[in-house]
């Protein structure tokens, strides 16, 4: 595995290489701004129609799961260099399939993939909870992900303490946790569910538990240069038979303002989401907070505003997570419902649910991405499409082209993306991801687009281009910090339409820390005009700086 890889330059053109901070030089150049409208902020009516097959902005992510070594590390106890090489390979996979983000699980079972002052090292690293792996996996993963030109979203599980003993964890045996584990020191915080053959959870109904898990998770937010924080679908546990989660004592003590336990539980989850979101923005206003819940909020039979589905575990009724409320209240920056079903499945059709979520997320700041079940391709037999049809996955994206609120997709999980069963991911890429894409701008984070970078030289050696540019001169911090660059190559003289979609987008590059000058090399057709734009942490884009060939 090479120590470095070309940043996110995922056109069908061949990337030759790139370097970071370089000395300026070259022939006479000119820099300026074409008539350029950022269609996400410009109120004028666009003068051209973007190609829907080549969207300029689209989140394309994969989940890298660490629980029970689903993805990374492939097994516990691997040496440091092997763990690092495995992670880098997932970044290579992201390039192969034109992705621009990874969602990496760093707090899977109330333990940590970083040196946390609150919780022990994760057992999924070394095989022994509390054992130092010999490096900082989160620091490593964030740095490598950004070098690869991808966003890093830190995936955290708030309440789950253990997995079942059947999959190699401690199950419900509290005494098998590391001696320093907060759950052992505070056994009154813990609920075993189900009591036989189950798992351990922190009790979401205890205010002191919510305070602790938020502090523990904020340790990672404060320490690392992450782009997003991510929860999945686990809040209160999925039900096990008729056994109820044992929080009666907590309800008696803290549920006085509620007529029933279900409303109290939903409020507990609301309080977690609201307070954690507030703490994130207090620390780092540019860090996005997203949730990927089970794909059904409520069934229509239980609520006329629910989806036309008959799902068995709707988040509102069974998991006590009012996910629609979080969207409407603006408590989260994005939602990625796990719509893990085929379009033909009557009980929970992808087609029905994509439309329902599109309507929920219309005209709100919260962005909508859809969680996709890559792991079902070629395997699942509940719907014949998953088992037999290599185009089921790409058909999901074709369907949602007409759903204006859908801003992208996240694939579960990274290992199944790599396996590419039935060639489904290859077909999806060749149909929908033929060009790179910018991450959708998060306008709710505030900030202003940067000034255009000054392109100092463009060298065209018969279609092998080397472009050099200066970072915008004004010092910008926080959400306004220049974090990414987009490189375009346009046939003829650029105009507004040249930047309306991804047709001319060559690469998305990370800004080199502390550098004032940048350089990039790529191959394309000869005699093109090269342009570079700068983007801040919220992915707001400058006007283009244009370079003259020599």
Q: In terms of pTM, does the model score above 0.85?
A: yes
Q: Is 366 exposed, middle or buried (0-12, 13-18, 19+ CB in 10 A)?
A: buried
According to the model, what pLDDT value does residue 246 have? 98
Q: Which spans in 392-467 are helix H?
A: 392-400, 414-419, 424-432
* Angstrom distance (rounded) from CA 64 to CA 364: 28
**CA 465, CA 66: separation in Å to the nearest integer?**
40
Domains along the chain with CATH numbers: 15-53+447-547 (2.60.40.10), 59-162+205-432 (3.20.20.80)
Contact 204, 269 (CB under 8 A): yes
Rounded Cα distance, 454 and 532, in Å: 8
CA 530-533-538 angle, to 5 degrees, is 155
Residues 219, 118: contact at Cβ < 8 Å? Answer: yes
Q: State the pLDDT at residue 549.
A: 66
- List per-residue pLDDT tens for the chain, 550 residues long: 333 333 333 332 233 333 333 333 333 333 344 334 444 444 445 578 899 999 999 999 999 999 999 999 999 999 999 999 999 999 999 999 999 999 999 999 999 999 999 999 999 999 999 999 999 999 999 999 999 999 999 999 999 999 999 999 999 999 999 999 999 999 999 999 999 999 999 999 999 999 999 999 999 999 999 999 999 999 999 999 999 999 999 999 999 999 999 999 999 999 999 999 999 999 999 999 999 999 999 999 999 999 999 999 999 999 999 999 999 999 999 999 999 999 999 999 999 999 999 999 999 999 999 999 999 999 998 899 999 999 999 999 999 999 999 999 999 999 999 999 999 999 999 999 999 999 999 999 999 999 999 999 999 999 999 999 999 977 889 999 999 999 999 999 999 899 999 999 999 999 998 899 999 999 999 999 999 999 999 999 999 999 876 6
Please report how the helices 350-360 and 392-400 are oriented relative to each other, as an axis angle in degrees rounded to 10.
Answer: 30
């Amino acid at each position: 595995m090479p120590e470095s890889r070309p940043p996110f330059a995922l056109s069908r053109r061949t990337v030759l290489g790139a370097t970071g901070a370089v000395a300026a030089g070259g022939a006479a150049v000119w820099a300026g701004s074409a008539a350029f409208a950022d269609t996400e902020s410009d109120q004028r009516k666009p003068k051209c129609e973007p190609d829907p097959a080549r969207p300029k902005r689209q989140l394309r992510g994969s989940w890298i799961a660490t629980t029970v070594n689903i993805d990374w590390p492939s097994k516990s106890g691997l040496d440091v260099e092997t763990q690092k090489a495995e992670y880098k390979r997932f970044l290579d996979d992201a390039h192969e399939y034109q992705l621009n983000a990874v969602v990496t699980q760093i707090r899977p079972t109330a333990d940590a993939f970083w040196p946390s002052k609150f919780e022990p090292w994760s057992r999924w690293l070394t095989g022994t909870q509390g054992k130092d792996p010999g490096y900082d996996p989160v620091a490593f993963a964030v740095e490598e992900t950004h070098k690869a030109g991808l966003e890093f979203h830190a995936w955290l599980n708030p309440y789950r303490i253990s997995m079942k003993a059947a999959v190699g964890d401690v199950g419900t045996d509290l005494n098998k946790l590391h001696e320093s584990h907060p759950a052992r020191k505070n056994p009154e915080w813990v609920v075993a569910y189900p009591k036989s053959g189950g798992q351990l959870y922190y009790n979401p109904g205890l205010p002191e538990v919510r305070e602790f898990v938020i502090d523990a998770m904020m340790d990672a937010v404060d320490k690392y240069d992450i782009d997003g924080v991510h929860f999945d679908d686990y809040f209160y546990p999925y039900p096990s038979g008729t056994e109820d989660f044992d929080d009666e004592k907590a309800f008696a003590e803290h549920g006085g303002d509620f007529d029933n336990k279900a409303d109290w539980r939903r409020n507990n989850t609301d309080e977690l989401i609201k307070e954690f979101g507030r703490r994130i923005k207090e620390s780092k206003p540019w860090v996005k907070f997203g949730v990927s819940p089970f794909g059904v909020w409520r069934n229509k039979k239980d609520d006329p505003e629910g989806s036309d589905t008959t799902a068995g575990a709707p988040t509102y009724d069974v998991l006590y997570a009012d996910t629609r409320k979080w969207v409407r209240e603006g408590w989260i920056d994005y939602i990625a419902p796990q719509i893990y079903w085929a379009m033909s499945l009557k009980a929970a059709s992808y087609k029905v649910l994509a439309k329902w979520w599109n309507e929920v997320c219309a005209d709100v700041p919260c962005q909508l991405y859809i969680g996709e079940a890559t792991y079902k391709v070629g395997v699942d037999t509940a719907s014949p499409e998953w088992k037999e049809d290599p185009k089921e996955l790409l058909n999901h994206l074709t369907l949602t082209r007409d759903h204006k609120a859908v801003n992208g997709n996240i694939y579960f999980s990274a290992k199944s993306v790599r396996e590419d069963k039935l060639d489904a991911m290859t077909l999806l890429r060749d149909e929908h991801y033929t060009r790179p894409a910018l991450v959708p701008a998060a306008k709710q984070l505030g900030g202003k687009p940067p000034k255009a970078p000054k392109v100092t030289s463009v060298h065209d050696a018969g279609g092998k281009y080397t472009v050099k540019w200066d970072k915008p001169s004004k010092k910008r911090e926080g959400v306004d910090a220049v974090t990414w660059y987009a490189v375009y190559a346009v046939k003829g003289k650029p105009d507004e339409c040249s930047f309306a979609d991804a047709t001319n987008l060559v690469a998305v590059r990370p800004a080199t820390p502390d550098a004032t000058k940048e350089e990039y090399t790529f191959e394309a057709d000869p005699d093109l005009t090269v342009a570079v734009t700068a983007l801040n942490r919220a992915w707001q884009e400058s006007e283009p700086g244009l370079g003259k060939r020599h």
